[in-house]
Structure 1
């Protein structure tokens, strides 16, 4: 637990010796138990305490408080406050926040999910922004419409042009950064999946859930983490499940980390081949603008 040393001493919760020898100072007067793992949420709380509880937690720190996964623990904490006094490990922003854009999470004032997405979607380049918005959409009840509503009141904000593209590319069905990257690879090739997290049933029971695909043409794409290849029981289940999908007329393309990282053209060829075999139009409709936007980006 992150805490203010002066408050803990005043309350008698720790002695000066314990504070010095059993705790680590993160910022001025802000401590954590020595050797404890510092999560993004802990860093957010530590930064807020450093501000003497005056700042609003923002950016990735707000996303962490809202329950986002896949935030790199090495990223600095982020605060929105007027003072721009620099401190190591904290990124300070000074942006106008309306009262409706501030929520309280675990007792800490933080930008709402919509405002957090508005901020993250304008920074760090479009691919990183989509990754972060997907995670925020997955972790909360936020919708793309909620974020678009803020553009009208902050239309002159820096990065709004990127944000509009990012919102068009975001999806609340991505359950990992790898799934987001895979979807973007397909989108860049003019083949954005029409659905994510597709539940497949036969006439009696649930068969499985596909990460993404085109149910209208019964083409599905699965991202398989390491356990799908290294765990024999999981591998056996995947093989049986694929057989059931095929019996129902589905074509399934499985993608692993090596394919996604090094052989993206192989993924594109396989997916395009199955879409062609299923009778899908070439190119898919309404893909030109998205594909053009992603055209020069490394994914």
Structure 2
């Protein structure tokens, strides 16, 4: 590793000295100590992948990044743990500040993200089942199944029989939809499922009278033409998005759709209103 690389990647003290740095330089103000015997240039961004790389250097055993750390590396929108989670088979549990080690009998399916070994999406889903509630697990599962497949999730459930949280994981599996594109879409879908509303298509393109796609409703009933769109804050704060929404809403009307727009407040404070609006619209259009 040449000196410029020390400005970009974590390195062990002995490797830095072997590559030409002096002990005083390694211990000086130019580099920071990330974890046991692992340093990083102070100007380098110490983000999660960099922290993971540092722990990987510091731990002299095969490991895989797992649980909340794997979820964050997969961009799962759930509450994050500032500590780095690893799974390893070693009988000696590493004790380092900012690290949570989970001992396992085998590392299982391992994916690679960048240069980091990470538990597979299915394994990550099962690992999280002992840490999350049902809603958060479904939100995580929607993302993880979109990163792999529902069959990958199901395979992990079979191999995870008997593990803590496996019953919750199996329940959550029945609610997963990899077509969901955000946590709020997942929340909206579950409100309707719990409210007994017939299943709606997730992010299926809406085709107009001219045979062309004019919109992609977050949730939609494409036979009787009822659609739902979640309106995040940027739909009101971004003028361009506001203009696009006006044109989109007009396209729904012109093509005979009944559009229901839902906000964050509706989801968190008025879920019953959402269920009633959708159920009423479906009944009015002949769907019982």
TM-score bracket for the superposition, by shorter chain length: 0.7 to 0.9
> 1:88 maps to which residue?
97
Relative distance call for 1:135 and 1:154 in structure 2 (3 A) is closer
Q: Normalized against structure 2, the TM-score is what?
A: 0.84
Q: Secondary structure at the match of 2:174?
A: helix
Residues 198-222 of structure 1, C-alpha deviations (whole Å, 9 max, x = no match): 2112224321111122223322111
Give the Å deviation of 1:107.
3.0
Aligned positions of 1:14-25 closer than 5 A: 16-17=24-25, 20-25=28-33
Relative distance call for 1:126 and 1:87 in structure 2 (3 A) is farther
Correspondence for 1:173 among 179, 193, 200 = 179
For the aligned residue pairs, the C-alpha RMSD in angstroms reads 2.6
Give the Å deviation of 1:161.
0.6
Give the Å deviation of 1:272.
2.0
> 1:191 maps to which residue?
197
8 A Cα contact 2:252 2:258, kept in partner? yes
In structure 1, distance between residues paired with 2:180 and 2:22 = 44
Q: Secondary structure at the match of 1:84?
A: coil
> 2:75 maps to which residue?
68
Relative distance call for 1:119 and 1:74 in structure 2 (3 A) is closer
Matched, 1:241 2:248: yes
Misfit runs of 4+, over 4 Å: 71-74
Count how many residue pairs are aligned between Structure 1 and Structure 2: 277
Residues 16-68 of structure 1, C-alpha deviations (whole Å, 9 max, x = no match): 43653133323212334436554333333333233236322112323444x42
8 A Cα contact 2:52 2:116, kept in partner? no
Q: Which runs of 5+ in 1 are unaligned?
A: 282-299
Matched, 1:47 2:55: yes
Matched, 1:125 2:133: yes
Q: Normalized against structure 1, the TM-score is what?
A: 0.81
Give the Å deviation of 1:8.
3.0
In structure 2, distance between residues paired with 1:233 and 1:109 = 41
> 1:219 maps to which residue?
226
> 1:154 maps to which residue?
160
Relative distance call for 1:155 and 1:48 in structure 2 (3 A) is same
> 1:208 maps to which residue?
215
Computing the radius of gyration from Cα coordinates, the structure with the larger value is 2
Residues 58-92 of structure 1, C-alpha deviations (whole Å, 9 max, x = no match): 12323444x42536565321100233343332221
Greater RCO (CA < 8 Å, at least 6 residues apart): 1
